[in-house]
Chain A
Amino acid sequence: MGIISIKSSDNLFWLGRYVERVFTTLKAFTQCYDKMIDVNDDEYISFCAKLGIGGNYSCRQEFISSFLFDIDDPASIFSSLMHAYDNAVEMRNEISSETLSYLQMAVDVMEKSRGSTAPLLKIQEVTDWIFAFWGSADDNIESEVSRNILKFGRSIERIDLYTRLDYPAELIRKEFSIMLNRLYKVGVDCNANAIAQLEKMILESDDYRPYKASVQNELAHIFVTGVMN
């Protein structure tokens, strides 16, 4: 394969972004959850503020159930997973039934975990399926272009989330370098100005944090064919 349309490239890009969003926010959520046990009941408020999701949750318990499972909450992990699934299901022939099946299983786990008294134990499987998804994508996506667009989406989302979550500058630089590598491999026109700006803010300065908002803004404009899905 490898003959893909603008819409398909968009599906792949956002598939990569949403899968990564599920993966990284789930990891960050787990850390936040842990702190809420005996350090700070209201940890979720700063967690939501960092992610820029408003945090209109009335209490810790509501945050836990909504952020994980409320499909109507656009910030929730389940909602992100369904967005990933919706993009993937249109790309079955490109990513393969096998790769798609791992997302289907992640969705099934989320659905089953909703009523659990120990949801974090259950949704560990979501992380497992995501790892399997990436392994299968590497193995089964024949087209290098498609694979790179998918992973390019993952890199963009990862940098975006890492900066929101105040991860160390060194880590951001590493992810940015990986992203640049992918971008050149993708072989599509991209926003050269956005890249130049990001290089200045991430690679050439000691710390990206003073430019955090600008970094996120430029990241949103790199993939010029991409539109929100």
Chain B
Amino acid sequence: MYGLIEHTDEINRLLARYGVKFGIYKNNVFNERLFPFDTVPRILSADEFGFLSRGLRQRVTALNMFLNDIYTAKRIVKDKVIPEEFVYGGAGYMMECEGAVPPKGIFCHISGIDLVQGSDMRWYVLEDNLRIPSGASYPMIARELCRRASPDTFRANSVVDNRNYGELLKKVLDYSNCGGINVVLTPGRFNSAFFEHTYLAEKTGSVFAMPQDLFVEGNVLYYSEYSGRRQRVGAVYRRISDDFLDPMTFRADSLLGVPHIMDAYRAGNTAIVNAPGNSVADDKGIYYYVPAMIKYYLGEDAILSNAPTYLPFYESDRKYVLENISRLVIKDVAESGGYGVVFGSELSLEQIYELKKLISKQPRRFIAQEVISFNNLRVFENGVPGERKADLRAFVLMGEETVVWQSGLTRFAKDADSFIVNSSQGGGFKDTWVLSR
């Protein structure tokens, strides 16, 4: 391991060379930042990964069944497993997707499930990201450089190679493809994950497309070539959110979308990866119901636990949250990227009073969770060892079969006392090793 640590600066320099960056808007100015890499990996034993893998596959399978159900028969609502208002009252439900079943019934092609490990070594799911989860490219490229920096480290440890993410993703795209080429659709240069869009296009051998390169004719999606020819598109790995995807269906003022792409999708002529409408399933409120969802669709107990969560929507939960707010973490369900997360312990009395008022007034808008005591990970900052809170984003890919990528993005907080691990908040990342034995 020391062979890796001593090359931390060089590896970070090489990451900069390959343009491993993410974009961030602050005060309306776009800046690109390097994503600091810590060479000490998170290590998962084969058994531990096997457990996580089973739990993740189970969870994503149920979430995919939920999406198929909610936009068609709605059995889970009719059977009152999830309250109706929780599904249709949230911002995540998209009426425009009613009745639209994606090719092969796959909604969740790529799921990014955020987990944390508690100090009791138990894993908890913190969040399901089923829309456009990003981040797989970072550990993939970091691994490549780490192997160059310290081959002995890898020779001495049985680390499963994670550089196959591009191939796994290509398989998913090929399986859903309705006939034609695969494209990676980016909203453009100033998207925060633009590096990843271009990198994954390269690694999957897909055509990289800007919205203006695509058009729909006769419910078929085409890519317009410079020579005047057109190529039929069978699968679009879009990195544009639903709201902006098709101005004819969603936001009419979107300049980023492809007009009528939803018509091509509804006609079964192209797969949209991930499928539109997934936001109803990764809503922070719906998260609460995932264990019940697993029981309902699969008849199994959830393998992975949720963090202990309360919904102020329910009177008993609301009472508990209001009484214990100073030791809970409160999340605004409409926010993401580490925004809209407040720790009760960090609030002044006045702020607590205001938050309580808001929760009482808009209970559906919030969830509350117990603060999990993290199992901190070792980091080296300027050569000095320290500890940070860290999460793990595991990637689950659903194609002909559902597989968990044998790696993941481990993100750690910028400061020792911070719980916020999002890159947009200044944190860094680690590689995630899965041992083969």
Interface residues on A, range: 20 to 34
> Does the CB pair A89–B201 fall under 8 Å?
no
> Does the CB pair A5–B224 fall under 8 Å?
yes
CA distance A8 to B184 in the complex (A): 14
CB-based nearest A residue for B17: A101
Contact partner, B19, options A9, A104, A188, A225, Cβ 8 Å: A104
CB-based nearest A residue for B194: A89
Q: Assuming A188-B227, A225-B226, is B189 touching A93 (CB within 8 A)?
A: no
- Nearest Cβ on chain B to A2's Cβ, whole angstroms: 9
Tell me if A96 is interfacial: C-beta within 8 Å of chain B.
yes
Tell me if A90 is interfacial: C-beta within 8 Å of chain B.
yes
CA distance A1 to B182 in the complex (A): 11
CA distance A7 to B209 in the complex (A): 9
- Nearest Cβ on chain B to A155's Cβ, whole angstroms: 18
By a CB distance below 8 angstroms, the chain B residues around A5 are: 209-210, 212-213, 223-226
CA distance A97 to B198 in the complex (A): 9
> Does the CB pair B18–A97 fall under 8 Å?
yes
> Does the CB pair B18–A6 fall under 8 Å?
no
- Nearest Cβ on chain A to B9's Cβ, whole angstroms: 14
By a CB distance below 8 angstroms, the chain A residues around B224 are: 5-6
- Nearest Cβ on chain B to A131's Cβ, whole angstroms: 16
Contact partner, A93, options B19, B198, B210, B213, Cβ 8 Å: B198
CA distance A92 to B207 in the complex (A): 11
CA distance A187 to B19 in the complex (A): 32
Query: For residues 1 through 33 of chain A, which have their beta carbon under 8 Å from a beta carbon of chain B?
Result: 1, 3-9
Contact partner, B201, options A93, A100, A187, Cβ 8 Å: A93
CA distance A94 to B210 in the complex (A): 14
- Residue-wise interface mask of A (82-122) relative to B, using a CB-CB cutoff of 8 A (1 in contact, 0 not): 00001001111110110011001100100000000000000
Give the dominant DSSP class at B's interface: mixed
Tell me if B298 is interfacial: C-beta within 8 Å of chain A.
no
By a CB distance below 8 angstroms, the chain A residues around B213 are: 5-8
Give the dominant DSSP class at A's interface: helix
Tell me if B175 is interfacial: C-beta within 8 Å of chain A.
no
CB-based nearest B residue for A94: B208
Contact partner, B202, options A4, A90, A93, A108, Cβ 8 Å: A93
Tell me if B199 is interfacial: C-beta within 8 Å of chain A.
yes
> Does the CB pair A89–B189 fall under 8 Å?
yes
By a CB distance below 8 angstroms, the chain A residues around B212 are: 5, 7
Tell me if B279 is interfacial: C-beta within 8 Å of chain A.
no
Q: Assuming A92-B199, A92-B202, is B189 touching A86 (CB within 8 A)?
A: yes
CA distance A89 to B226 in the complex (A): 19
Tell me if B162 is interfacial: C-beta within 8 Å of chain A.
no
CA distance A104 to B205 in the complex (A): 22
> Does the CB pair A104–B16 fall under 8 Å?
yes
- Residue-wise interface mask of B (17-49) relative to A, using a CB-CB cutoff of 8 A (1 in contact, 0 not): 111000000000000000000000000000000
> Does the CB pair A92–B226 fall under 8 Å?
no
Of the candidates B198, B212, B226, the one having the most CB atoms from chain A within 10 angstroms of its own CB is: B226
Q: Assuming A5-B210, A92-B201, A92-B202, is B19 touching A101 (CB within 8 A)?
A: yes
- Nearest Cβ on chain B to A224's Cβ, whole angstroms: 11
Query: For residues 39 through 88 of chain A, which have their beta carbon under 8 Å from a beta carbon of chain B?
Result: 86
By a CB distance below 8 angstroms, the chain A residues around B53 are: none
By a CB distance below 8 angstroms, the chain A residues around B68 are: none
Tell me if B157 is interfacial: C-beta within 8 Å of chain A.
no
Contact partner, A3, options B16, B184, B199, B207, Cβ 8 Å: B207
By a CB distance below 8 angstroms, the chain B residues around A225 are: 226
- Nearest Cβ on chain A to B238's Cβ, whole angstroms: 16
- Nearest Cβ on chain B to A151's Cβ, whole angstroms: 16
> Does the CB pair B202–A97 fall under 8 Å?
yes
> Does the CB pair B210–A89 fall under 8 Å?
no
- List 21 contacting pairs A-B, 8 Å CB cutoff, sorted by A: A1-B207, A4-B225, A5-B223, A5-B224, A6-B213, A7-B212, A7-B213, A8-B208, A8-B226, A89-B194, A90-B189, A90-B210, A91-B208, A92-B198, A92-B199, A94-B208, A97-B18, A97-B202, A100-B19, A104-B17, A187-B227
Residues on B facing A (Cβ under 8 Å): 16-19, 181, 184, 189, 194, 198-199, 201-202, 205-210, 212-213, 223-227, 231
